[in-house]
Every structure is written in structure tokens, then in C-alpha cells.
Amino acid sequence: MEKKEIIDTIVEIESKTDATLQTLSTLKDEIANLLEENQTLRMENKHLRERLEDQAVQVQENQENAGLTKSRLNLENIYEEGFHVCNMFYGQRRVEDEPCAFCLEVIYGER
């Protein structure tokens, strides 16, 4: 090989290396952008799932309360404030807010 061919080969390898380096730099920037977008989408997805769960709970509570008459809703409020609404202990404070099967039957039992 002559000196000119060797120099031409080195110049060609150098230009290909520069092009490869430029491609790698572009890919690196693109990957960084994609990772940032991915993280943003993960956070947004998490917030949307939490919001959906909250809405599902609200819908379930609304459905549960929709089946109660106004008087039973009032009894439920009194019960949740810590008082008995059953015939046996009506008006007495529930000890440590323990559940009372009689009260629950009065509120949620069949009519």
C-alpha cells in the first residue's frame, strides 16, 4: 500500500467514526427525551389511577346510601357519631365505637 492509500483509508475511517459518534450522540439525546417522557407518563398514569379509585369509592358510597331512606340515613349519621339507634340501647353512647349488630340491623336490615 502506498502512503496516499494509507492516508486516504485513515481519513475515511476517521470520517466514518465521526459519523458514528454523531449518530450515538443523537441516539443518546433521544433516549434521554424518551426516558423523561416515560417518567412523566408514569406519574400521570399513577395520578389517574388514584383518581379513578377515588371516584369508584365515591360511586360505591353513593350507591350504598342511595338505597337508604332519609330516616335511615339520619339513623346512620347518629350511629356514626357514636350512639346506639337500636331498641335495646337507643341514645346510649357506644363503648369505644364498637359495632352493634342490633343497630346495624335497624339501619341496613330489610324493611
- Rounded CA gap, 16 and 24, in Å? 12
100 labeled binding residue: yes
20 labeled binding residue: no
86 labeled binding residue: yes
- Rounded CA gap, 87 and 63, in Å? 27
User: CB burial class (10 A; 0-12, 13-18, 19+) of residue 75?
Assistant: buried
103 labeled binding residue: yes
Binding residues for Zn(2+): 84, 86, 100, 103
Binding residues: 84, 86, 100, 103
